[in-house]
Structure 1
Amino acid sequence: MLHRLGLRLRILLFFAALAVGANVAVAVGLVLAYQRLGEPVLLAAFQQVGLIAGLVILALVTWVWYLFDANVALPIIRLASKLRARAHAAVEGAIEEPTARYLGDLAPAASATALTLSETRNALAESVARETSRLSAEKSRLETLLSDVPVGVLLCSGDHQLVFYNGPATDLMNTAGAPGLDRNLFDYLREGPIRHAHQRLVEAGDPDAASDILCTTVVGARVLAARMRLIAGETTKPGYVLTLRDVTSALASYARREALLAEVFDRVRRPAANLQTLLEVLPEGEQAPAKVERALRQEVAMLATAVNDLGRKHDENRHDGWPLSITRASDLLDGLRARMEQAGLTAEVGEAPLLLRCNGFEVIGLVATLAARVAARRTGNHFRITLTEDGTEALLRLIWDGEPLPVSLLEDWLAEPLEPGVPEVTGRTVLSTHTTEIWPESSGAGANALCLPLRAARRAGRRPAPIPRAVVYDFELLSKARNEKVADTRLEDLTYVVFDTETTGLMPSQDEIVQIAAVRIVNGRRVEGEVFDTLVNPHRPIPPSSTEVHGITDAMVADAPDVIAVGRAFHKFAEGAVLVAHNAPFDMEFLRRAEPFIGRRFDNPILDTVLLSAVLFGQTEVHSLDALTHRLGITIPEEARHTAIGDTVATADAFLKLLPMLQGRGYDTFGSVLSEVRRHGRLLKDLNEAHLTEA
């Protein structure tokens, strides 16, 4: 029992026992002396002597205890905390503890030990860095490669928790909120097809088998074509790789074509049947009666209108499904000039700051082939190529000096294959793919041209800032043990969301949130790409005194979402995680006030870094965020202090250093940490009651 008590409490009990023992010894001595003398008149004198002796002993023992506590116990605790910070949290530097001067050589020995540990750690880190530099470079190249894969790629554990995802997967599933490591896949995709495919592959027992499935997103009902393959080497509950491709637009295009085809049959069938009936009743070789002739003309007009209308709709939707990508005009023109020069032609190419939606290979092949055939009809082989903007189109002109090209000859050329070995690709099919035409025209002063309009052109503007597409992964999650009871779960197996709020004031019952930020910690590391950071419109003025602290003004939050929208988004971000904050009751009070409005309850387990600091460094230390980060060797940039995201990142980094220190003290589970926290104050009593009773 005594080993569970703190050092200072044990020393206090020792001196208390010493005081009690001394007083008992004095009392026993006085009683024996009084009995031996046998003089009742001396009883009062003996009592006075006993009382004075007891008070003197109590005062002396208290004074000695105070000196021992201040100069021995407290310095030992501080030295132990600083040694533990350097051992488990990688804090650098010598140990400075002025109050340890009465501990003899203990403080210098502790400082020397810390310096030696730091030097050894640095030397080991340099050695490991040198040995792993090649692997790091390969890892970086692999991440870059996977981030540029055009399809969404997911890696999931056997429990359907996300272990890896890339940028395209984020885009595909973002309708249900940004994905996150160790989150359940079924928060984003409907589970039926995925569970069935996983079960089929597990039962098949073939490591090379794959299953093609069609699934939909939970929000937005986007239809995704997916392929699932199990991870080799996994036996029980094997994980799997899932590749995703959005086929919603393809299915919609197919549906439009089917609807157009049905409309064709419906609108053409009736006029055709009427015409057939009229022709059958009309005697052969005789003049049609006036009524029949009017009916014929009416039906023919209706048929012509239907055909023209359907042809227009077909032209509008004909490009659906064709792989037309965005191509820079400069790239297209450069490729065209190279192709023509290879054929012995020369081309003068102008500048065109345009972006085109086209199949560049086909357009280059068509124009270069036509240029070669035009050159074969005349003596010159020099051409000029221009590309000009015309509304939403771009007009590509192949210009030469000489006679014009007859339309009939151009039609013959368009019917011929562009390449001898590919007879199905003709000039006409290229024009059909791009829903366009090409025609000859005069270019003035004895020059003629072929004009080819290219659809969906736009001016090339300034390149926007790149969107981060880094892959996010942690392969250790594949073998992560899971425990349904939070109190029994090891600290490293929990997912944490560290958060902070900025408010209009310090009264949760009266003030409002103006900013909230959070980061996720999964498997003992902060996930860089999973960040929640937003301003909140409090729908009330922000006092100047608050603006001086966090720098947020009324103008900055005027267009920000309100606490209802932000609260729901944050609740989703923090779902299934332990909430961590510095002085958590303050921030949680604001969130609890918003619960009736957002229709959600923040019933997550909660840890407070103020109390964790008290557990590890003692209650007599200062536990502000600045003091804690300074103690752990963490620097908060001045511009980030008192901003929600700046304080959140600082708290997260501090928490990551506190975790191994807690484990070094033997607090391995959430329940053990919470029990120890409550010995240092009852600040979290109501916040975690449910999660302690689970155990």
Structure 2
Amino acid sequence: MFAHLGLRLRVFLFFCLLAVAGIGLAGAALALGWSRAEEALPTAPFVTAFVVFALLNTAVVLGVWLLFDENISKPINALSAGLRLRAHSGVNAPISAHSARYLGDLAPAAEALSQTASASVTETATRIARETERLKVDSERLTAVLTEAPVATILLNAALEIVLYDTQAADVMASVAVPRLRAPIRDYFDMDDLSDAMEGLSQSADDKPIMLRDASGARSFEARLRALRSDGYMIFIDDPTPRIERVAPRPLVFDFDLMTAAETKAINDRALTDLCFVAFDTETTGLSVEKDAIVQIGAVRVLNGRIVEGEVMESYVNPGRPIPASSTRIHQVTDADVTGAPDIKAAGRAFHHFARDAVLVAHNAPFDIGLLRRHAAEIGVEWDHPVLDTVLLSAVVFGTNEDHSLDALCARLSVEIAPERRHTALGDAMATAEAVTRLLPLLEGKGLRTFGALLGETRRHSRLLEDLNPPAA
């Protein structure tokens, strides 16, 4: 019946039961003594004695509960959180012997078991790290080769979602919108051209030449289409011109796990590992959702529990007003930085496309999403994305009474934030994304494997922050 309640609440209810039981027994004893008296006795002394006992009994039980909560319940929760961090996220969270001093041999036993398991995990992790480094080198070589080739390459799965794109393809797609994995190819190219080419394309046939138009209809490319034996397609765009000057080099971006298209389900029934998350942050002219404006947006995409290298968005936003010096001291964004930057309409549309079909994740989401929703009509979009808040995720994993600031959460998860990146939109977005990748296995370890299950749990902590998802979500 009470299994879904937290440990500390269950212990508190247990002590409440003891207090009520003690008061009830005392009342029954006084009533019995009064009724057995040989002659009628006044009730006032008995009532006074009962009230005094009830108050003293409640005070004693409350005091014992406070001691128990501080020295037993809280350390057990902290010990559990530390063990989950080690077991599911690989974070070597320290187990405080001082805070767990009243738990007998439980803390030393947990530490010994954890160290034994960690030794085996470390050995495995070392082997994985060596193989990962080798794969990284191979990926860098492949990236260099594809970068030099005058052909843009895009790999699609059977659902016509993007699984791989190279630097040249990123240049082509960027003229329409920010490139992103698992995006439907129709977001970037006219589907009439592709659909006609795919009809009758045999897996054994040669590449089929096509004239490919981008989704805006502004540019056309000579391209070739190839069907794969693994139920997918490759698109090769020959010598795309004019070339787009890149602000920063893009790596080869791919995730071959996406070759198997995710099963279409309602958002509440989808596994957390199947969802795409966009962790984002904004810097603003102040702290008022109603009055202040955005001056910078940063965002990072997370797929299959991993940050997608190369899929980031960072943009200054011209607020159309001077930035107060007090705000500049925090985020270092000046009026000179936003001069010539896109306004909220252009930047908001770019971010909306970047976050399409994704779950938005922010730290203290009501502020950032409140600003975006305030400008929704101006931008011309609806911010109806599912939303997760890392403040609430932290409460689910570590308990309500912990410090849930971004710095405290990152410290618990061993996520490092470079001082120069703190309070920048992309720096905080990257820290939030790193936190999400380490929180996901912890949440799954608590049995929260679907978005609906997680949403139900975060809503139990809505007294900390407002839940931004619609009631039916």
TM-score by shorter chain over 0.5: yes
Cα distance in 1 for partners of 2:92, 2:339 equals 44
Residues 139/558 of structure 1: CA separation in 2 closer, same or farther (3 Å cut):
closer
Partner of 1:693: 472
Cα distance in 2 for partners of 1:214, 1:472 equals 24
Partner of 1:217: 214
**Aligned partners of 1:480 and 1:493 also within 8 Å:** no
- Write the deviation string for residues 57-96 of structure 1: whole angstroms up to 9, x where unpaired: 2222111111111111111111111211222122125322
Partner of 1:96: 96
- Write the deviation string for residues 533-581 of structure 1: whole angstroms up to 9, x where unpaired: 1111112111111111111122222222221211111111111111111
**Aligned partners of 1:500 and 1:516 also within 8 Å:** yes
- Once the two structures are superposed, the pairs formed by residues 265-344 of structure 1 within 5 Å of their partners are none
Residues 94/674 of structure 1: CA separation in 2 closer, same or farther (3 Å cut):
same
Partner of 2:119: 119
- Once the two structures are superposed, the pairs formed by residues 32-47 of structure 1 within 5 Å of their partners are 32-47=32-47
Residues 546/10 of structure 1: CA separation in 2 closer, same or farther (3 Å cut):
same
Are 1:243 and 2:236 counterparts? Answer: yes
Aligned residue pairs total: 471
Segments of 5+ residues of structure 1 without an aligned counterpart are 250-463
> C-alpha root-mean-square deviation of aligned residues, in Å?
2.4
Q: One-letter code of the match for 2:274?
A: D
Cα distance in 2 for partners of 1:671, 1:125 equals 32
Cα distance in 1 for partners of 2:415, 2:282 equals 20
Cα distance in 2 for partners of 1:610, 1:555 equals 33
**Aligned partners of 1:629 and 1:654 also within 8 Å:** yes
**Aligned partners of 2:251 and 2:309 also within 8 Å:** no
- Write the deviation string for residues 250-309 of structure 1: whole angstroms up to 9, x where unpaired: xxxxxxxxxxxxxxxxxxxxxxxxxxxxxxxxxxxxxxxxxxxxxxxxxxxxxxxxxxxx
Q: One-letter code of the match for 1:553?
A: T
Partner of 1:457: none
2:433 counterpart SS class: helix
**Aligned partners of 2:459 and 2:467 also within 8 Å:** no
**Aligned partners of 2:273 and 2:305 also within 8 Å:** yes
Give the TM-score of the pair, scaled to structure 1: 0.64
Cα distance in 2 for partners of 1:248, 1:633 equals 45
Partner of 1:602: 383
Superposed displacement of residue 465, structure 1: 9.8
Partner of 1:231: 228
Are 1:182 and 2:182 counterparts? Answer: yes
Superposed displacement of residue 649, structure 1: 0.9
Partner of 2:22: 22
- Once the two structures are superposed, the pairs formed by residues 367-382 of structure 1 within 5 Å of their partners are none
- Write the deviation string for residues 18-42 of structure 1: whole angstroms up to 9, x where unpaired: 1222222222223333333343215
Partner of 2:105: 105
Cα distance in 1 for partners of 2:73, 2:43 equals 42
Partner of 1:66: 66
Of the candidates 451, 471, 475, which is equivalent to residue 256 of structure 2?
475
Of the candidates 479, 498, 512, which is equivalent to residue 293 of structure 2?
512
- RCO (CA 8 Å, sep 6+): is it higher in 1 or 2? 2
**Aligned partners of 2:146 and 2:166 also within 8 Å:** yes
Are 1:486 and 2:293 counterparts? Answer: no
Are 1:563 and 2:353 counterparts? Answer: no
1:103 counterpart SS class: coil
Partner of 1:163: 163
Q: One-letter code of the match for 1:648?
A: A
- Once the two structures are superposed, the pairs formed by residues 390-539 of structure 1 within 5 Å of their partners are 468-539=249-320
1:638 counterpart SS class: coil
Partner of 1:404: none
Q: One-letter code of the match for 1:185?
A: I
Partner of 1:617: 398
Residues 247/46 of structure 1: CA separation in 2 closer, same or farther (3 Å cut):
closer
Are 1:546 and 2:327 counterparts? Answer: yes
**Aligned partners of 2:171 and 2:246 also within 8 Å:** no
2:102 counterpart SS class: helix
Cα distance in 1 for partners of 2:441, 2:68 equals 30
**Aligned partners of 2:93 and 2:412 also within 8 Å:** no
**Aligned partners of 1:96 and 1:111 also within 8 Å:** no
Residues 108/149 of structure 1: CA separation in 2 closer, same or farther (3 Å cut):
same
**Aligned partners of 1:165 and 1:472 also within 8 Å:** yes
2:200 counterpart SS class: helix
2:43 counterpart SS class: helix
Q: One-letter code of the match for 1:170?
A: A
1:98 counterpart SS class: coil
The structure with the larger Rg is 1
Cα distance in 2 for partners of 1:521, 1:174 equals 19
Are 1:154 and 2:154 counterparts? Answer: yes
- Once the two structures are superposed, the pairs formed by residues 135-146 of structure 1 within 5 Å of their partners are 135-146=135-146
**Aligned partners of 2:170 and 2:179 also within 8 Å:** yes
Segments of 5+ residues of structure 2 without an aligned counterpart are none
Q: One-letter code of the match for 2:413?
A: L
**Aligned partners of 2:392 and 2:465 also within 8 Å:** no
Instruction: Give the percent of matched residue pairs that are identical in Structure 1 and Structure 2.
Output: 46
Residues 585/154 of structure 1: CA separation in 2 closer, same or farther (3 Å cut):
same
**Aligned partners of 1:79 and 1:97 also within 8 Å:** no
**Aligned partners of 2:152 and 2:240 also within 8 Å:** no
1:101 counterpart SS class: coil
Q: One-letter code of the match for 2:234?
A: V
Cα distance in 2 for partners of 1:598, 1:138 equals 42
Cα distance in 1 for partners of 2:109, 2:439 equals 24
